[in-house]
């Protein structure tokens, strides 16, 4: 999530959207989230979760057990965000083959 | 727009989404787009438009006049994307005050 002063809209980046999507199924631990997000680094997931927590989209709960257990969960605002994002997520899944095709065409074009 | 191999969803970054949103009103020239996107650099807008063109979301038309005139326009796929993104854009506008409030609360918390 990012917004500038005067920016009329906040739009999620790819990783934020995927984390929110994964948390739609219920609370998850850091390690479980990381396992589900192929290609994300430890640091990128930490930064993404901190940003979502700061924006009020997720809550972070630390259980004082051994070993320590940190769980992330969508807030009601996060749930509303996921619902609003569903058509875009569906679009991106539906159109991925056409996007891939468009990229191959573009990359095959002579430079201009 | 960004996708990795095996990534199940393509989600737009903030600038891509704002460009697509502005192009929803009709074709625009580079300079007009730049004027409407407060805070974007020349280079960031160039990179964003090239990525959208590569993904098949916008077309770029060069008119061979003096001075040269380059126009950007949504493809049918871009129009479908904008329609799918509308609920998320609306969410982000509606929730911006609450996000701003959540950030202020977070930043006021003692470090942990």
pLDDT digits (tens, 9 = 90+) for B75-92: 999 999 999 999 988 998
A70 touches chain B (CB under 8 A): no
Which of B2, B10, B53 has the most A C-beta neighbours within 10 Å, making it the best mutation to test the interface with A? B10
If you average pLDDT over residues B61-75, what whole number do you get? 90
- DSSP H helices, A24-112, are 30-36, 42-54, 76-108
- Residues in chain B with CB shorter than 8 Å from the CB of A92 are 9-11
CATH architecture of A14-107: Orthogonal Bundle (1.10)
ipTM: 0.78
Q: Which helix (H) or strand (E) holds B79?
A: helix B76-108
pLDDT (tens digit per residue) in A2-54 = 433 333 345 667 788 899 999 999 999 999 999 999 899 999 999 999 999 99
So what's the pLDDT on residue A12? Answer: 66
CA-based nearest distance B35→chain A, Å: 14
Cβ–Cβ gap A17/B11 under 8 Å:
yes
Confidence of residue B69 (pLDDT cuts 50, 70, 90): confident
Angle in degrees, CA B68, B71, B73, rounded to 5: 170
Mean pLDDT of B10-35: 88
* Architecture of the structural domain at B14-82: Orthogonal Bundle (1.10)
The order of strands in the sheet holding A58-63 is A28-29, A69-74, A58-63
For B58, the enclosing helix (H) or strand (E) is strand B58-63
Per-residue pLDDT of B37-48, as tens digits, reads 989 999 999 999
Q: What was the pLDDT predicted at A10?
A: 54
Residue of A nearest to B93 (CA): A9
Q: Decide if A2 and B17 are in contact by the 8 Å CB cutoff.
A: no
Residue B13 is predicted with a pLDDT of 74
* pLDDT value at B2 more than 70: no
Q: Quick one: pLDDT at residue A102?
A: 94
Domains of chain A, by residue range, sit at 14-107
Per-residue confidence (pLDDT) for residue B89, from 0 to 100: 87
CB hemisphere CA count around B19 (13 angstroms): 31
């Amino acid at each position: 999530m990012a917004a500038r002063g005067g920016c009329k809209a906040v739009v999620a980046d790819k990783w934020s959207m995927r984390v929110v999507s994964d948390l739609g199924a219920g609370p998850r631990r850091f390690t479980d989230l990381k396992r589900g997000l192929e290609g994300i680094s430890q640091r990128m997931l930490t930064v993404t979760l901190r940003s979502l927590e700061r924006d009020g989209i997720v809550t972070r709960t630390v259980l004082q057990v051994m070993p320590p257990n940190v769980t992330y969960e969508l807030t009601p605002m996060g749930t509303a965000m996921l619902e609003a994002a569903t058509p875009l997520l569906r679009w991106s899944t539906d159109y991925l083959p056409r996007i891939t095709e468009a990229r191959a065409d573009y990359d095959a074009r002579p430079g201009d």
